Amino acid sequence: MFKTKKPANVKLTILGGLGEIGKNMMVIENGKDMLLVDAGIMFPEEEMLGIDLVLPDFSYVVKNKERLKAIIITHGHEDHTGALPYLLKEVSAPVYGSKLTLGLIEKKMGEHKLKADLREISSRTKLTVGQFKLSFFEVCHSIPDGLGIIIETLFGLMVHTGDFKFDQTPVDGRPTELQKLTGLGQKEVLLLLSDSTNAEIPGYTLPEKTVGANLLKLFEDARQRIIVATFASHLHRIKQIVDATIKTDRKLAISGRSMVNNVRIASELGYLKIPEEVLVDVAKIEKYPPDKIVVLCTGSQGEPLSALARISSNDHKQVKLHPGDTVIISASPIPGNERSVSRIINQIYRCGAVAHYELISGVHASGHPAQEELKLMINLVKPKYFIPIHGEYRHLKHHAELAKQVGIHPENIFICEDGDVIEFNAYGAKKTGEIPAGDVFVDGLGVGDIGDIVLRDRKQLSKDGVFIVVVAIDKQKAEIITGPDVVSRGFVYVKETKELIDEAIERVEETLAKTAQEGVTDITVLRLRIREDLSKFLYKKTRRRPMVMPIIIEA
C-alpha cells in the first residue's frame, strides 16, 4: 500500500445508477481529491413526455470541480458515457477509458462540437491521479474493451466491477480476468461495488456464442430477406451477424445512423472486420435476390424513429417489408420499452413477415451476470464491505441477499440509492448523509429547464386537454366588456358540446360578477377564482380535469 498523508476518510457518493437502469455516475473522494466513475444517461420513460434524455444531477461535481482529478469510464455504453458532453461543458478533467471506449466518446464529443482530454488505458495500466492509485482488469460484457477498476486507499482496496459477466467462450477471446480477481482476494479488499442487473436470475448467463449458433440456424432457414435489429454498440453480436451473413453467402446492408457510425468506428479501430465485398449500399438492396440480402439495423428497443420502426410501418425509404421476410430482434427490451417492441412485432406479422425475438428464439444473451456469477465475483474478491450497484431497487435487494449467502456480514452491506454518501475510515464504514441527486431532463437544446411541474402539465394536457377562457374586463370595475370566449383542445369538441360550453360561459360570468361585488380587481385573484370554479364545474359535468387557462385582458 502506498504511503501518503492520511486523509480523514474516503467518501463514496452515488449520483446515478442505483434504483434505476441508466445514468450511472459515482464520486470517490480521497482527502481533497475527487475521482468520477462513469457519466451516463438514461432514456426517458413513457410518462416523460417530450423528454429526449435524462442526465444525473452532477451539480455536486460542478460545485467541487477544482478537486476533480479524473473521470474514469468503464466501457462505451450510453448509460456510462452519454452525460459526458453535458458534464464537460461545466468541468475540466482528463477522461480515461479503453481504446474503443474513447473512440466512441470522441465521436460523441464531435457531435457536440467539444474537445476533451482523452487518455487511453488498458488492463495493464497503473495510474496515479492526485491521491488515487488505480489499476484495472478486463471484463467480458456486451461491448468490447470493458474494464473493472481497482482503487487503492489507506483502508484497503475498492473494486468496481463495471458491467461484466463470466463468459468462458467470449466472441473476442477476452474473458473477465479471473486471475487478477483471485489475486485481489488475497489482499485487503475494503469494498466491492458489483453489477446487479441480473441479480434476480438464477444460474449463469447464456454465453454469447450460443446466440451466434441460433442466429446462424435462422439465417440458414430463411428463404427471403433477413432484417436484424440489435444494439448499435453490441459489437460481439454484430460480428456474429456478419459471420452468419458470410456463411450463408449473403450481402450485408446497414441502416440507422448509430449503427453506421459504430460499425465504422469499430472497423477503423480493428474491433470489427467486414470484407468489403460483403457490404452493399442499403439503397441498392432491391437489385439483389431476396435470399441474398441481410439488413442490419437499429430499433431493437422499439424507438419510434429507428430504422426497424420505419421498416415495420413501411415508412423506410430503402427497405420495404415483404411477406416471407425474416425479422430478428436480437436484444432484450429495456424495462419500459416492452410495449414499443411489442407494437413493432405486431406490425411485422401484419406485413406477412416472420419475427424472431428473445422470448421465442434464443436470439439474445445478456451482457450481465446471473446469480451464480455474482456469488463467484464476491467469493473471488472477498471484500469486507459490499455495495450492489447498477440496477433497480429490487435488483440491489436480491444482490444483497446473495452477498449474505456467501458470507458477507449483513451490517457490512449497504443498499444505496442515488444521493447516498458512504464514508470509510480506520474504524469502519457508515452512511453519513445525502446530497441532491435527481433527474436532469434534456428537451431539445434545453438542459435542466424542464422540471416536474412542466412534466405534470404535459401529462395533464395529454390526458384531458386544455380549456381556455378569454375575457376582456374593465380595469377599474372588473366588469366584463367582451367575452367570455372559449377555446377547447383535447377536451371536448366545441361544436358538439354547445350546452356544456354555454354553461361554462355562464359560470365564468357568475364568478366575475361575484368578484366585482366583492370589490376584487386584482388580475391574479380573478384568474385563480375562474380557474377554481371552472375546474370544479367541468369535473362535475364530465369527470375530466382539463388544464383550465383563464386569459383576462384589461381595458
Label each residue of 146-209 as H, E or C.
Answer: EEEEEEEECCEEEEECCCCECCCCCCCCCCCCHHHHHHHHCCCEEEEEEECCCCCCCCCCCCHH
Q: How far apart are CA 222 and CA 224, in angstroms?
A: 6
Label each residue of 481-521 as H, E or C.
Answer: EEEEEEEEECCCCHHHCHHHHHHHHHHHHHHHHHHHHCCCC
Phi, psi of 157 (to 5 degrees): -85, 140
Q: How far apart are CA 379 and CA 185, in angstroms?
A: 8
Inter-axis angle of helices 178-185 and 371-381, nearest 10 = 50
* Catalytically active residues, by annotation: 195, 368
- Sequence letter at residue 518: E
Enter the C-alpha cell of residue 513.
Answer: 360578477
Phi, psi of 322 (to 5 degrees): -115, 155
Burial 173-198 (b: 16+ CB within 10 A, else e): eebbbeebbeebeeeebbbbbbbbbb
Please return the burial class of 26, using the count of CB atoms within 10 Å of its CB with bins 0-12, 13-18 and 19+. buried
Q: How far apart are CA 50 and CA 44, in angstroms?
A: 9
Please return the burial class of 223, using the count of CB atoms within 10 Å of its CB with bins 0-12, 13-18 and 19+. exposed
Enter the C-alpha cell of residue 64.
Answer: 467541487
Strands (E) across 230-377 are located at 251-255, 293-297, 326-329, 354-357
Residues 199 and 399 sit within 8 Å (Cβ to Cβ): yes
Rounded to an integer, what is the distance from CA 514 to the centroid of its chain?
Answer: 52
Q: How far apart are CA 400 and CA 418, in angstroms?
A: 17
Of 419, 542, 476, 491, give the one whose Cα is nearest residue 17. Answer: 419
Residue 44 makes CB contacts below 8 A (sequence gap 6+) with 51, 52, 53, 54, 441
